[in-house]
Structure 1
């Protein structure tokens, strides 16, 4: 199964040239059989293959070894390292679906996970996630969201999970109207018209919303984020801010989340895992640049300073250099 071509992305992980899934499968099997497991070989190999290639390795492993690679890895590894390695072997849509399912079906609802994924994915990705969720968990994502959330926060999530955001260029005259509508619904109103915020922020295209944000600043002389901070609270504020930040600069949004994950009270390994796995083939190069620009420290050094063991080494490989 040799690779026919090499895709290039703004991610740190690319297709591995001269790829052979069956050979990789045998290498992984050798690393796990006998006394002890060679974790270095496992993490080194899997972080040098794209997700599409890892999917082929799963098939190759079952073909040449006659066993399930994920099950073998789970029996040999443990802790955060195991979770990270297994995450690398899940396709992007199914990984997002799994994270969303864990967020609503675990002990309590992890609202921050719902916000992060649904606010940052495009229409096509949302549709794939909804489909994968149904296939993998025999449940409807929208139904699970509505049963675990409430109020305007629930309504924002339901709007986002439709994957029906506009995809047109900015309409200058409508951008002015939308900016005025947001101003009238928030800063210039007695109370906040949350429905107007939801309608505009969840349905307009990204280029159009950028124009709306510019017009809003002209009208109100402050950024929309500042208005959301003063007009909304709790989970609604969190999801509204995430939408605006992702529209403005998605890499900066993820850089901020990563920084908070390593610099808060204790390291949040789940956030590090989710973001580095899900963005490694999308825009992790840009996230790294944003991280350095925003915090004057490299993502690589932040990870090295706040994690350890094979988990750290895998994250460092995904990060691909201290630049």
Structure 2
């Protein structure tokens, strides 16, 4: 793991821990089971063309995985407790210090869904406004009341600051997102934030993670002289308390935007919102000496990964 500097590689990993913290909700899907130290990387896109093309000298292909058992997100007056999250990406690290990201075909992030407390009744009811009171009267069962919140990407990440990964209280990157509120009565296009006006999250370390290094054989078996290396970062809490949240759009075909905004306290200025990820565990794996596999480091990474499949 030496062709691209260790500091740069560790910085990329720590920064991407924040990715997992802030893209949170969705439905977890079954993934491939891998042996030994490969286990956290069960969705790494090792067969993506860009990953396979890495030569191990000018470009090094690596896998990252970041997970947390839970956290929270507060938007305006509403706070949602998030469940487990899992981020996995391929990372291409170049000798000039630049990086690019490769997502798995099914998407980089999967997680437990988050339920909005009180559901639609808590969000909009009671109300003496006819259009809203009519909606409130139609909520006759738990399915109609339940709202889930899904954080979705709303643009490409930017403003990556590698040095911020080694310290606290410095933004690591800017992450444009939107929050999809799902409920039968709100319709399928109810969002907080849009691709044109997204929520801009700028995560930073609140506590520094602990770091350890494991070396292992290509098939994942622990081996102090193995071909693969894995950095493990544990115990990092991350947060952003400085982002603004725009008003709702598309709720009830647009007729209920104002009702959602009124009860939720949106739009909400910077300082009134926050995202927290508790006790994240992040892993970063690549060949221990990628240059020794040139010009086929990416292909070797894929071969090792597949050899670890149970």
- Tell whether the structures are fold-level matches, with TM greater than 0.5: no
- Which is richer in helix? 1
Tell me the TM-score normalized by structure 2: 0.23
Tell me the TM-score normalized by structure 1: 0.22
- Which is richer in strand? 2
